[in-house]
Copies of this chain bind each other. A is one copy, B any other.
Amino acid sequence: MIAMSNWSMSTGTERDPPCNPLFLCVLSNTDTCRIPNISAAGATTDLNFYTPAGDAEIVVYGSPRSVPALPMKVDGAPTPAVMTRAALQLTDMPYLFVNAGLRIVPDVPVIDLGAAPGRDIRYGNAVSHADVIYGRAVHIGLQLGKLSDSIIIGESIPGGTTTALGVLTALGYDYGVSSSWKANPLKIKREVVRKGIDASMLTVDEARDDPMHAIASVGDPMMPAVAGLVYGITSSLDCSIILAGGTQMIAVFAILKHLGMDTDRISIATTKYVYQDRSFDFDAAIRDLGCCVHVVDPGFADSRMDGLRKYEDGEVKEGVGAGGAMYVAGMLGVTQKEMLDAVEAVYEELMGGNRLGKPR
């Protein structure tokens, strides 16, 4: 790893700071998140469906508008949307949300790909019309790639690390997977994935030959959306792409590789909380897939707020493109201290008078 600033490290050489970056966040649901104990990306398992909409509203307005609960555990670490909002505020970076199969639509305008929500992957038939989602995303990527020199793509999909494990396993990779839980329910996830792959009767060779088949079997609708955006954007010769996320974006990167895409201008940016997670072998993934990864430390160890320090203990870790948004903020000159102050201000605003929002 090469230190790029006092708060980010990279496995490859860094590019020049972007002139007109654009941040995209793909919002999706998968019924996989309803499996008990699988995802901490919501107040309760029943409320997980609301998380992408709540995250989008927090990024735009600072608090949820239409959803009934905060997209996080009571007494838990805050949703990574607080980092994303802070990074977008500090950089004045333009951003757009993409609806790629939402059950709950936020009170925020979205680019609608007309995708259906993903099904529970245990039945091996998780995503309908993955090719149509991909094609529509290509169209949007083609347009947006002409407008920006660096597009950052994040996601919010509860249950998404399980579907990531599904596709990575289908493609024959065994790196483990990260989790929004401090104690990763990896055993449950592996069982779920095994059931899905058995049900789909997909072999590794078939999946590698046709990664859209792997998505359709045990993936989620975020995946063809991001893959299509990337393909469309890469048609613009001077636009680079940052996949903003941890294991889920490693899964997307693997899909891109097996689709035969040129990945030279594509890198991954994530938080140190994912990179340091021992339940996912990030270095093996980097080595196998040949991707350049940027790792950001938002400095929550020094935070005056309990909720943020919980990230240091392994809660939540990443999401809503937080790592990528902060990485670009760093490239544009934002310091770790400025970032931390901004995240604390957003978190405090979100929690209102709640004790978790108060300084210690």
Contacts and interface: CB of A to CB of B under 8 A. Distances in A.
Interface of A: 20, 22, 60, 92-96, 99, 105, 107-114, 136-137, 139-140, 142-144, 146-148
A82 to B, nearest CB: 19
B105 A109 contact: no
A194 to B, nearest CB: 35
A1 to B, nearest CB: 32
B108 A111 contact: no
Contacts of A114: 105, 107, 109
A110 B111 contact: yes
A114 B112 CA distance: 10
Interface centre among A20, A94, A107 (most CB of B within 10 A): A94
A109 B137 contact: yes
10 contacts: A22-B147, A94-B144, A94-B146, A94-B147, A96-B111, A96-B140, A111-B111, A112-B112, A147-B147, A147-B148
Contacts of A99: 112
Contacts of A143: 94-96
A96 B22 CA distance: 15
Contacts of A139: 60, 108-109
Nearest to A95: B143
Contacts of A94: 142-144, 146-147
A109 B114 CA distance: 7
B20 A140 contact: no
Ranked nearest first, the 4 interchain pairs of A and B with the lowest CB-CB distance are A94-B146, A94-B143, A147-B147, A112-B112
A202 B50 CA distance: 41
Given A60-B139, A139-B60, A146 B20 contact: yes
Given A108-B136, A109-B113, A112-B112, 4 more contacts: A20-B146, A94-B142, A95-B143, A96-B143
Contacts of A147: 20, 22, 94, 147-148
A196 to B, nearest CB: 28
A56 to B, nearest CB: 11
A96 B143 CA distance: 7
A146 B148 CA distance: 10
A142 B142 CA distance: 21
Chain B CB within 10 Å, residue with most, of A92, A137, A147: A147
Contacts of A107: 114
A271 B61 CA distance: 40
A144 B24 CA distance: 12
A95 B94 CA distance: 17
Contacts of A113: 109
Contact of A109 (B92, B108, B136, B148): B136
B109 A110 contact: no
A332 to B, nearest CB: 13
A103 to B, nearest CB: 15
A292 B121 CA distance: 57
A109 B113 CA distance: 5
Contacts of A96: 111, 140, 143
A144 B143 CA distance: 12
A113 B110 CA distance: 7
Nearest to A92: B146
A144 B95 CA distance: 9
